[in-house]
């Protein structure tokens, strides 16, 4: 279900770099926590986590269907995914911080709506699905079940992202508005994630030949 330890550690490291990079979901989580407190932040984390998991499941089903049609698709997807990761890494290096200098303070809402909105924010982010489709195949064994492997890796990624999101909730509940002044430092998160993606893409492209069925 999971790759060998060295490759799994690379997956965890790259996943952690992505999860720590502020994006729309992180902004939403921080905003809800600052506006309504820790409990609302936790509700938003749960919604975002389920949205990410749904994206991972969708990517897993799509990849499994593609690999079932053509054995050559496995190699093509791995190389295309490696190229996408390098391109994404370059974009992250050139992109300013994703978090605005001010944290919005939305109106108070019930927890059920906060959960729903967090789910929608994560689910309807097309970059998440595209990233899963490019990222997960780099860690698959062509001789195993693509569906099982991608679901397992997707779950691991969502668990990592959930833990980092909980960290954002804790920080936001403690320091609150001071997070608004952290925007100028967020670019370093983009650079760390960008370096991880470029390294992973290069490793996949030149470190070994993708396995074939």
Query: pLDDT digits over 110-145, tens only?
Result: 778 889 888 987 887 666 766 777 778 778 776 777
Q: Is residue 114 part of a domain?
A: yes
Domain count, the chain: 1
Q: Is residue 162 part of a domain?
A: yes
The pLDDT of residue 205 is 59
Per-residue pLDDT averaged across 20-38, rounded? Answer: 80
The pLDDT of residue 178 is 61
Q: Is residue 176 part of a domain?
A: yes
Q: Is residue 186 part of a domain?
A: yes
Q: Is residue 136 part of a domain?
A: yes
The pLDDT of residue 188 is 57
Poorest-confidence range of 12-16, 88-92, 166-170?
88-92
Q: Is residue 212 part of a domain?
A: no
The pLDDT of residue 73 is 67
Helices 38-69, 24-36: crossing angle, 10 deg rounding: 160
DSSP string covering 49-105, please? HHHHHHHHHHHHHHHHHHHHH-THHHHHHHHHHHHHHHHHHHHHHHSPPSS-SS---
The pLDDT of residue 182 is 53
Per-residue pLDDT reduced to its tens digit, 139-179:
877 677 778 888 889 899 999 999 999 999 998 888 765 65
Checking if the pLDDT of 213 tops 60, the result is: no
Residue 50's CB is within 10 A of a number of other CB atoms, namely: 17
Q: Is residue 213 part of a domain?
A: no
The pLDDT of residue 45 is 94
Q: Is residue 88 part of a domain?
A: yes
Q: Which domain holds residue 125?
A: 5-207
The pLDDT of residue 169 is 92
Per-residue pLDDT reduced to its tens digit, 179-194:
555 555 555 556 666 6
Poorest-confidence range of 14-18, 118-122, 209-213?
209-213
């Amino acid at each position: 279900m999971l790759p060998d330890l060295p490759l799994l550690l690379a997956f965890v490291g790259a996943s952690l770099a992505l999860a720590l990079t502020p994006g729309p979901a992180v902004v939403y989580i921080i905003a809800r926590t600052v506006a309504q407190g820790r409990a609302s932040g936790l509700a938003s984390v749960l919604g975002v986590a389920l949205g990410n998991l749904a994206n991972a499941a969708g990517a897993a089903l799509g990849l499994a269907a593609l690999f079932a049609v053509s054995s050559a698709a496995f190699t093509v997807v791995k190389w295309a995914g490696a190229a996408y990761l390098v391109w994404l890494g370059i974009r992250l290096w050139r992109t300013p911080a994703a978090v605005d200098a001010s944290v919005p303070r939305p109106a108070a809402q019930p927890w059920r709506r906060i959960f729903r909105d967090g789910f929608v924010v994560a689910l309807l982010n097309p970059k998440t699905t595209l990233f899963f489709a490019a990222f997960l195949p780099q860690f698959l064994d062509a001789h195993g079940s693509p569906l099982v492997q991608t679901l397992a890796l997707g779950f691991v990624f969502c668990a990592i992202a959930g833990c980092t999101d909980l960290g954002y909730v804790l920080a936001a509940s403690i320091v609150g508005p001071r997070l608004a002044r952290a925007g100028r430092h967020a670019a370093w998160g983009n650079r760390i994630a960008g370096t991880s993606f470029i390294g992973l893409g290069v490793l996949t492209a030149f470190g070994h030949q993708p396995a074939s069925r």
